[in-house]
């Protein structure tokens, strides 16, 4: 099939590459000329394992192309995916300006029947808004072209995005016309050969399903963090508790790790947007509000632990930071807990030596030219003469480090582990003062 993907970000690029990999002819459009130039030159603007190979192969075999020309993308394709950003607006709602901008422009440029697919995460009612702005444009042009609007939320995870897209647990299609549902099933058929379902539902339910999925996962993270805080007071062991409940198949082990809370480009903004939607329908979602509040507190609790260990005064102290991205296997730092931790350390007069395998460039841009923060290109290099190490992201390479080497580099053997990577008993034997999430206070 001939497809257009509008937006070449984390979702758009993966969507484009995976559809091309299945033999479709895909044109990927972005408004950012630098991004498109990079892609045309065979480089990719983000870090996502495996993506570069997919993009190179499909570009060389002429199934995947990149453009800034929306008209070409729209006119050459039947199905058009909108995969632009939907950041948080000032009032917490999802900012739909980029989605509606694209829809309006499609209305201006379309020449034939089109299926418009919402791939971006958008609140209930967005498909209706997309339809309205497109109809307005067609009316202005005096054209009577037909089109359908489908909701097809994306559930991929950064870091394993290709695998998630190629072998999804399920595909959700929100669609009011059975013929369009059939077309979407045909498009996604090759991705569900292992019989994972394509679930067709009405548009509004599909729009809400994406938020419900993210809200559930975010709440699960806040749940285990709340329990970690109770462990810290009662002396119970959060690692054992996690195993004790996670082995119950009704509960499950995934998304049940105590830590610095969720970050990233999705959970925080999607929780806010869902709360906003509920409020606008006169419902107060108390569970979601609490999950949000617990998540924000989690970083403050960790900072408090650091301050207490240094008797409330961080001025002149130097900290190594391991991990800047919001989770491993990505260079994405949007809403990353590390940013909050570092900002507070700097504001309190501390110095920081930061290391991340992929996110140093993005973090460098975020903090600008600040002499109090150095980006060091090795995990051990970051430890030189520091008062303590702070672990913010659970990259695999941090799990089994050479502890003796670490001790020899650090001014004092102190670790604040925001991801509970190590066993407290072992750390004590190795001579580290080891703080972790849920440690007895
Ligand atoms: N990142 C994820 O893990 C993930 C997962 C599932 C769903 N989502 C959702 O997918 C959507 C996109 O997320 P993302 O992380 O890929 O965002 P992103 O910021 O990485 O990418 C968005 C892209 O859209 C482009 N763009 C903006 N306005 C445009 C326009 N008018 N025309 C063409 N291109 C335009 C930007 O230049 C950018 O390259 C969001 O709604 C997000 O919530 C993201």
Tell me, in angstroms, the distance from the centre of ligand 1 to residue 119's CA.
9
List, for residues 192-228, the tens digit of each pLDDT value.
998 899 999 999 999 999 999 999 999 999 999 999 9
Rounded Cα distance, 204 and 423, in Å: 46
Decide: 148 in ligand 1 pocket, CB within 6 A.
no
**Full-model pTM:** 0.96
Q: Does the 2-201 domain belong in CATH 3.40.50.720?
A: yes
In ligand 1, which atom is closest to the CA atom of 155? 6
Decide: 120 in ligand 1 pocket, CB within 6 A.
yes
Tell me, in angstroms, the distance from the centre of ligand 1 to residue 83's CA.
5
Structure tokens at 425: 């008993």
**Residue for token pair 């958008």:** 122
| CATH code of domain 244-436 | 3.40.50.720
Decide: 27 in ligand 1 pocket, CB within 6 A.
no
Instruction: Report the candidate in 155, 73, 86, 78 with the shortest Cα–Cα distance to residue 112.
Output: 78
Annotate 252-274 with b (16+ C-beta within 10 A) or e (fewer). eeeebbbbbbbbbbbbbbbbbbb
Tell me, in angstroms, the distance from the centre of ligand 1 to residue 118's CA.
11
Tell me, in angstroms, the distance from the centre of ligand 1 to residue 99's CA.
10
Nearest CA to ligand 1 atom 5: 156
Q: What angle do CA 148, 152, 158 make, to 5 degrees?
A: 145
Structure tokens at 23: 């033999």
Decide: 30 in ligand 1 pocket, CB within 6 A.
yes
List, for residues 234-273, the tens digit of each pLDDT value.
999 999 999 999 999 999 999 999 999 999 999 999 999 9
List, for residues 151-199, the tens digit of each pLDDT value.
999 999 999 999 999 999 999 999 999 999 999 999 999 999 988 999 9
Q: Which residues pair with 208 in a beta bridge?
A: none
Tell me, in angstroms, the distance from the centre of ligand 1 to residue 384's CA.
38
Burial class (CB in 10 A: 0-12, 13-18, 19+), 45: middle
List, for residues 417-439, the tens digit of each pLDDT value.
999 999 999 999 999 999 999 99
Decide whether 2-201 matches 244-436 in CATH topology.
yes
In ligand 1, which atom is closest to the CA atom of 102? 31
Decide: 214 in ligand 1 pocket, CB within 6 A.
no
- The catalytic position among 18, 175, 231, 266 is 266
Where do the structural domains in the chain lie, given as residue ranges? 2-201, 244-436
Backbone angles phi, psi at 314, to 5 degrees: -100, -5
Q: What is the pLDDT of residue 194?
A: 85
Residue 335: pLDDT over 90: yes
Decide: 12 in ligand 1 pocket, CB within 6 A.
yes
Q: Which of 29, 83, 207 to mutate to test the pocket of ligand 1 (most atoms within 8 A of CB)?
A: 83
Residue 266 falls in the annotated catalytic set: yes
Other CB atoms within 10 Å distance of the CB of residue 234: 9
**Residue for token pair 């009577």:** 144
Annotate 214-223 with b (16+ C-beta within 10 A) or e (fewer). bbebbbbbbb
Tell me, in angstroms, the distance from the centre of ligand 1 to residue 84's CA.
4
Decide: 48 in ligand 1 pocket, CB within 6 A.
no
The dihedral of CA 395, 254, 330, 296: what is its sign? negative
DSSP string, 274-308: HHHHHHHTT---HHHHHHHHHHHHHHHHHHHHHHH
Q: What angle do CA 338, 339, 344 make, to 5 degrees?
A: 100
List, for residues 348-369, the tens digit of each pLDDT value.
999 999 999 999 999 999 999 9
Nearest CA to ligand 1 atom 25: 7
Structure tokens at 132: 């309205």
Decide: 313 in ligand 1 pocket, CB within 6 A.
no
């Amino acid at each position: 099939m001939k497809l257009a993907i509008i937006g070449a970000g984390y979702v758009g690029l993966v969507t484009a590459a995976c559809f091309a990999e299945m033999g479709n002819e895909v044109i990927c459009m972005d408004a950012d000329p630098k991004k498109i130039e990079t892609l045309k030159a065979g480089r990719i603007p983000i870090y996502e394992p495996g993506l570069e190979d997919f993009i190179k192969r499909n570009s060389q075999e002429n199934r995947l192309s990149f453009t800034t020309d929306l008209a070409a993308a729209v006119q050459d394709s039947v199905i058009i995916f909108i995969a632009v950003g939907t950041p948080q607006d000032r009032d917490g709602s999802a900012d739909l300006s980029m989605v509606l901008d694209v829809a309006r422009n499609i209305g201006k440029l379309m020449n034939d029947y089109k299926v418009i697919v919402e791939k971006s995460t958008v609140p209930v009612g967005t498909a209706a808004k997309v339809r309205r702005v497109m109809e307005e444009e067609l009316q202005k042009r005096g054209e009577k072209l037909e089109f359908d609007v489908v909701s097809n939320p994306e559930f991929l995870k950064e870091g394993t995005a290709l695998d998630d897209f190629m072998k999804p647990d399920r595909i959700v299609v929100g669609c009011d016309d059975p013929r369009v549902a059939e077309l979407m099933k045909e498009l996604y058929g090759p991705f569900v050969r292992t019989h994972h379902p394509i679930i067709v539902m009405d548009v509004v339910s599909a729009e809400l399903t994406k938020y419900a999925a993210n809200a559930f996962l975010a709440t699960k993270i806040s749940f285990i963090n709340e329990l970690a805080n109770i462990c810290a007071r009662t002396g119970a062991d959060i690692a054992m508790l996690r195993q004790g409940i996670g082995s119950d198949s009704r509960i499950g082990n995934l998304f049940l790790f105590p830590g610095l809370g969720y970050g990233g480009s999705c959970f925080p903004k999607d929780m806010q947007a869902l709360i906003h939607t509920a409020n606008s329908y006169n419902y107060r979602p108390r569970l979601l509000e609490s999950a949000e509040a617990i998540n924000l507190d989690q970083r403050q609790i960790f900072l408090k632990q650091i301050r207490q260990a240094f008797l409330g005064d961080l001025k002149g102290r130097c900290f190594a930071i391991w991990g800047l991205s919001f989770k491993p296997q990505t260079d994405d730092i949007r809403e990353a807990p590390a940013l909050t931790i570092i900002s507070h350390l700097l504001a309190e007069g501390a110095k920081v030596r930061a290391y991340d395998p992929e996110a140093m460039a993005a973090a460098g841009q975020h903090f600008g030219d600040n002499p109090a923060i150095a980006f060091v290109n090795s995990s051990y290099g970051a430890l030189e003469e520091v008062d303590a190490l702070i672990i913010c992201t659970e990259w695999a390479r941090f799990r089994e480090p050479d502890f003796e080497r670490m001790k020899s580099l650090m001014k004092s053997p102190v670790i604040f582990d925001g991801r509970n990577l190590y066993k407290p008993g072992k750390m004590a034997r190795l001579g580290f003062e080891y703080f972790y999430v849920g440690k007895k206070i």
